[in-house]
Amino acid sequence: MALIIYGMGPSPFVRKVRVVMAEKGVDYTLENVNIFPAPDWFMEISPLKRIPVLRDTDKPEPNTIPDSSAICLYLEQTHPEPQLYPQDGFERGRAAWLEEYADTEMAGNIGLGVFRPIALSALMGKEQDTETANKTMTEKMPRIFDYLSDVLGDRDYMVGSAFSIADIAVATQFVNLQHAGFKVDAAKWPALADYVARIHARPSFTALIDEEAALFAKTRAA
């Protein structure tokens, strides 16, 4: 099975898929696609114009799947070990919910409110909008940190007692927050800050964080 991921490293959704592949030991090729703007050929395999898209060259055309959640589900089916979706039905539903929460609420606020105004702007040679980032951090993010702290409680993982797709989806969004020079305030949300550090310390995450670090070393908010 030859798998290709179309996307760019710093996308939290591309990272989510790459972490799943690393956890499962799946080989793939990352083909860089610049979505600013997306090329015409890419629109044919990604009608929503979004990255990532997976291509499985062993399948007859159309052999592509857009959307990180759809791709991760396919990978779980083709590479069941280690299991990244809870066995228990209720916990599986909770994991799907947290993945959705991360992909929408977290991605919206971190992506548009912090990462783009700071890290992406700097990468693209534009002026950084620290006002928007600081406003997001003070007005929007505390609600998210409170919610995730409540969900986590005193456990090690977001759902049940095992590492799952929920942890990957949540933690990948925190990488983008860090690329912009922000993090969870450990004085206010100690368990969440500890959790993020622990999940990011997994080899599947560190490899990608290290790969992206050089790119963002100079783009963080002062």
Ligand X SMILES: N[C@@H](CCC(=O)N[C@@H](CS)C(=O)NCC(=O)O)C(=O)O
Considering only residues 9 to 38 of the shown chain, the ones binding ligand X according to CB under 6 A are 11-13, 35
Nearer to ligand X by C-beta: 37 or 89?
37
Does position 73 bind ligand X by CB under 6 A? no
Question: In this complex, which beta carbon is closest to ligand X, that of residue 11 or of residue 204?
Answer: 11
Q: Smallest gap, in angstroms, from Cβ of residue 188 to ligand X?
A: 27
Q: How far is the CB of 190 from ligand X (least distance, A)?
A: 29
Binding of ligand X by 123 (CB under 6 A): no
**Cβ proximity of 213 and 206 under 8 Å:** no
Do the Cβ atoms of 170 and 151 come closer than 8 Å?
A: no
Strand duo 29-32 + 3-7: pairing: parallel
Q: How far is the CB of 186 from ligand X (least distance, A)?
A: 27
Query: Exposed e or buried b for every residue in 191-222, given b needs 16+ CB within 10 A?
Result: bbbebbeebbebebbeebeeebeeebeebebe
Query: What is the DSSP code string of 90-103?
Result: HHHHHHHHHHHHII
Q: Does 68 bind ligand X (CB under 6 A)?
A: yes
Binding site for ligand X (CB under 6 A): 11-13, 35, 49-52, 67-69, 103
